[in-house]
Structure 1
């Protein structure tokens, strides 16, 4: 009798673990990755976009949550004491003005994206420590990437890796670090743009053939979507 009870409890534990693993996909941008076994290495680096409530970040997800984006944590109330370690590593995507980055949010802001900083004037002296850890997505000219901003965008996202087979051995070193979003042709990355592309997004690189040998140093620091 005791043995049957133990077996019943074991089954309940296995079922509960499998159920608790499923919400991972609900919180992450595991776009088109339908099977958990296929994308565990990707899942650990995914986006947590809609984790507004403490209940969504359970113990078994905390190690994942610490590496993900909390994109919509706009209010201090959403970043409570128990999720601050997560918030410290998240994006504040819409903090366009210094006033939105209050004193209590500065440790968060320092690790976030300033996605709409198009001009150097928007990155004032007091915001430079922030800009060094952010994406300068629209810096098209070399003059905008000055010496003090060079350590920008060395860590990128992997969003749309649908199948394990798509990240083959020869592109794994690139795929693990980047999104290549909009780079359709090699001609778009001219010699004079290479210092810029090394720090920015290469968008629209949909096929492996477009990531040629001479572009690999740039690709390693950029974003690869659609691979």
Structure 2
């Protein structure tokens, strides 16, 4: 079902799948500090380059640059180490902590392009308890916009993809959610400019809440 067919607020879901950066926490300042330094070292147009980093795995971002004579795997490891060391300013999206804490533990997962160690570090820095189910960069051979990460998240929760609602913020993640067969809702709190999308949007989690019924389904409701 697409957002054009029915609103996510009129549907029941077996599970919610959340991207991390920009969706349940804001790590833009920290990420851009690390990536700007990397781009400057490699002679890239920093401002233009930073528009391409969000939502993608580090290895995919680096590989896309096609820089001669670099070891993309080693560069990605270096980026991850720098990002783990720098979590200054990493905060939860407004209302996210209470919203996530309200969900049944077996009915939601984080599906992120970040490596596991970085995901854990940022979640804890933002005051978000890591969920029982997480899909991280190491778990898939192809990153977003490939849907493999979301398909794996649903599989680990034991639900069908069509019964999931994906929460995303970045174009590559939105494309991954759509390609997986799930409904998608876009979180705009971390956006610096208006976003044009066919999908429903929420600015933060302060205007919504989740309701679980006796059959184990979740509903997303406006306050």
Which TM-score bucket, shorter chain as reference?
under 0.3
Which structure has more RCO (C-alpha within 8 Å, separation ≥ 6)? Answer: 2
Please report the TM-score for the alignment, with normalisation by the length of structure 2: 0.27
Please report the TM-score for the alignment, with normalisation by the length of structure 1: 0.26
Larger Rg: 1
The structure richer in helix per residue is 1
